[in-house]
Structure 1
Amino acid sequence: MQKLVEKNIGETIKYIGAELWELLNKYYFVLIGLFFLHRALHLVPYLSISLTSKIYMFMLVLICFTAYSDIRQDIKLIPFLLLCSVFFLFIFYINEHGYEFWGKMLRWQISKSVIVNLNPIFSKIPFNDGSFARIYKSETLTWFFRMVYNNGFVLPVLFAIYRSALIKDFKKMLQYTLSAHILQIFLITPFYLTFHLQEVWYVLGQPDGLARHLGPQAAAGITLNCFPSMHTSICFAMFLLALRERNRIFKFVFGFFCLSVIYSTLYLEIHWVLDVIAGMILAYVTVKLSDFILDKSKILLEKPLNAFYYKKSKPIYVKNYYLYTMKN
């Protein structure tokens, strides 16, 4: 009798544990979203915390609460977490050493003679200075566009990667990363090493739209490498990939952020119109190239993925036909 009672208690505990795990596995994004919401609301009263930080904390809340429709149910959790661990170690390494590599490239470029100087050419093309983007200017708009531009080189990619991790989609994590800095840095470097083009305000002798208070020597170096606009290429690539997401709210808000970064390059007199157009073309090419790489990789890795990463399918028989469904 005692063994029967112990068995029933054990089965009950096991059943409750399984149900709680299933509930957590289904609604974990809500708990994460509530955590970020609590942090965001906690920051609101503090005047010492910048408005930018508060806005981006609420962006994390949005990412969590718009994840449900895109969550993958066909992958195994442990292999996914292992892949994520390796992936984020790689991201941290790039974040730590990427700017050092970029700095070496810039120093090498400055030490060499300019092959093609585009400054006089671009400055003479009608409407190429993007003056139409500055027909209406205000302090609020200037603050907003400075904020999105200053955070538009890395943050859109990180937001996309974090959301992809939240929905347990490792392929999207790779695609956002490949379509951003990983592939673009190799595609864009030949242009930067070949063409000499500086920011609009510097070439036209206007005040710096970002109000960086640069000295003459610093301004000459920092304003290099405009063609193509990498702010544009990064954000437009993220925009193109975000259009593939299911959740409309995320697509609208994230898409608005990405397009705002692109527009800010014209409003702040950073990039020329042709820089932006070239950046958009580069983004499209990079997204298609990442599609090609991932499609070919999937073919090569199909067997190990099916064995270790994806959940096994089970057939459901309906009369003389059968369908495969995932074991969720």
Structure 2
Amino acid sequence: MQNLAERKIQGKLKYIGSAFLELLKKYYFVPIGLFFLHKALHIAPYTSISLTSKIYLFMLALVCFTVYEDIRHDIKLVPFLLLCIIFFIFIFYANKHGYAFWGRILRWQIKKGFVINLNPVFSSIPFNDGSFARVYKSETLTWFFRMVYNNGFVLPVLLVLYRSALIMDFKKMLRYALSAHVLQIFLISPFYLIFHLQEVWYVLGQPDGLARHLSSRSAAGITLNCFPSMHTSICFAMFLLVLRERNKIFKFVMSFFCLSVIYSTLYLEIHWVLDIAAGIILAIIAVKLSDFILDKLKMLIQKPLDKFYYKNVKTIYVDNYYLDTMKN
């Protein structure tokens, strides 16, 4: 009788353990989101911690709580995690050393000189200074737009990459990364090497909208490379891709963030209207190019993907291509 009772207890414990693991497997994003939310709420009262850090944690929590309907269930976990590790090592390395690399490019540009000076041309075009975006100004708006601009070059990309990792969609991770800095650095560099254009406030002799308290020499170097606006091209590319996501809350919040960054460049007198237009065109090209690259890449590596990356794949052979009947 004692052995029977022990077996029943062990069976119940095994059942509870299996049910817990199944629940965790299905809703793994909830404890991760609760962790970030707890951290955000914990540091919220401390004035010594930057507002950027607080908002970043709240955004990470939001990202976690919006992934359920986008999670992929046709992916093998171990190959995905291996790809993620390699991918994020590259991303963290680029994030750490990217600004230093960009600084070397700026210094090289200054030494080489410029081919075409756009300052007088852009300043003479009516409404090109974006004055319509500053019809109404307030301390609150200025604080808000400074915050989104200062975080608008990297944070929109990192947030969508983290979310793509949570939903186990490596293809989305690649598409976001390619559409952002990876492709855009190469697409935009020729413009920066050919055209000399500085920020609106500097050319028009206005106060710096970001209140960076720059010396004359520093301002002359830092205000370079305005055409096209890379803040715009990065954020608009992320905006276009975010519109493809299923979750409406995530789409709304990220779209608002990305579009606010673009508007902030006009409000703070950083970019000209034509910079914004060129940045939008560059973003569209980057997204289309990343779609093209990934489509071609999928054709080349479809067989190994079906074997090592996807699970329970059913394929049919048509015109020398494997068409996956399970994947989008």
Work out whether the TM-score is over 0.5.
yes
Equivalent residue of 2:201, what SS?
helix
- The 5 Å alignment of 1:274-289 reads 274-289=274-289
Report how far residue 51 of structure 1 moved.
Answer: 2.7
Code of the residue aligned with 1:145 in structure 2: it is: F
Report how far residue 101 of structure 1 moved.
Answer: 2.0
- The 5 Å alignment of 1:244-323 reads 244-313=244-313
Report how far residue 4 of structure 1 moved.
Answer: 9.4
The residue number in structure 1 matching 2:23 is 23
Pair 302,15 (structure 1): closer, same or farther in 2 beyond 3 Å: farther
Task: Give, in whole Å, the separation in 1 of the partners of 2:311 and 2:11.
Answer: 26
Code of the residue aligned with 1:85 in structure 2: it is: I
The residue number in structure 2 matching 1:83 is 83
The 10-residue stretch of structure 1 (227-236 or 77-86) with the greater mean CA deviation from structure 2? 77-86
Aligned-residue CA RMSD (Å): 2.2
Matched, 1:35 2:35: yes
Code of the residue aligned with 1:179 in structure 2: it is: S
Pair 79,11 (structure 1): closer, same or farther in 2 beyond 3 Å: farther
Task: Give, in whole Å, the separation in 2 of the partners of 1:47 and 1:89.
Answer: 32
- The 5 Å alignment of 1:30-109 reads 30-109=30-109
The question of whether the paired residues in 1 share the 8 Å contact of 2:210 and 2:268 is answered with yes
Report how far residue 40 of structure 1 moved.
Answer: 1.1
Report how far residue 276 of structure 1 moved.
Answer: 0.3
Report how far residue 273 of structure 1 moved.
Answer: 0.1
The residue number in structure 2 matching 1:237 is 237
Report how far residue 26 of structure 1 moved.
Answer: 0.4
Report how far residue 114 of structure 1 moved.
Answer: 1.4
The question of whether the paired residues in 1 share the 8 Å contact of 2:36 and 2:61 is answered with yes
Report how far residue 49 of structure 1 moved.
Answer: 2.0
Task: Give, in whole Å, the separation in 2 of the partners of 1:43 and 1:31.
Answer: 18
Pair 314,204 (structure 1): closer, same or farther in 2 beyond 3 Å: closer
The residue number in structure 2 matching 1:193 is 193
The 10-residue stretch of structure 1 (79-88 or 7-16) with the greater mean CA deviation from structure 2? 7-16
Code of the residue aligned with 1:41 in structure 2: it is: L
The question of whether the paired residues in 1 share the 8 Å contact of 2:76 and 2:309 is answered with yes
Equivalent residue of 1:228, what SS?
coil
Report how far residue 98 of structure 1 moved.
Answer: 1.8
The residue number in structure 2 matching 1:226 is 226
Q: Deviations over 1:18-61 (max 9, x none)?
A: 43222111001111111111111111221222333222211111
Report how far residue 78 of structure 1 moved.
Answer: 1.0
Task: Give, in whole Å, the separation in 1 of the partners of 2:53 and 2:98.
Answer: 23
The residue number in structure 1 matching 2:321 is none
Pair 281,314 (structure 1): closer, same or farther in 2 beyond 3 Å: closer
Code of the residue aligned with 1:223 in structure 2: it is: T
Task: Give, in whole Å, the separation in 1 of the partners of 2:84 and 2:8.
Answer: 39
Task: Give, in whole Å, the separation in 1 of the partners of 2:85 and 2:247.
Answer: 26
Stretches of structure 1 lacking an aligned partner (at least 5 in a row)? 316-323
Q: Percent identity?
A: 77
- The 5 Å alignment of 1:140-151 reads 140-151=140-151
Pair 20,99 (structure 1): closer, same or farther in 2 beyond 3 Å: same
Q: Deviations over 1:196-249 (max 9, x none)?
A: 000000000000000001111100000000000000000000000000000000
Q: Deviations over 1:173-211 (max 9, x none)?
A: 111111000000000000000000000000000000000
Equivalent residue of 2:227, what SS?
coil
Pair 297,10 (structure 1): closer, same or farther in 2 beyond 3 Å: farther
Code of the residue aligned with 1:243 in structure 2: it is: L
Code of the residue aligned with 1:283 in structure 2: it is: A
The residue number in structure 2 matching 1:320 is none
The residue number in structure 2 matching 1:115 is 115
Equivalent residue of 2:168, what SS?
coil
The question of whether the paired residues in 1 share the 8 Å contact of 2:306 and 2:313 is answered with no
Pair 314,125 (structure 1): closer, same or farther in 2 beyond 3 Å: closer
List, as ranges, runs of 4+ consecutive aligned residues in structure 1 with deviation greater than 3 Å: 1-18
The question of whether the paired residues in 1 share the 8 Å contact of 2:235 and 2:262 is answered with yes
> Scaled by the length of structure 2, what TM-score is found?
0.92
Task: Give, in whole Å, the separation in 1 of the partners of 2:85 and 2:51.
Answer: 31
Code of the residue aligned with 1:157 in structure 2: it is: V
Task: Give, in whole Å, the separation in 2 of the partners of 1:47 and 1:114.
Answer: 44
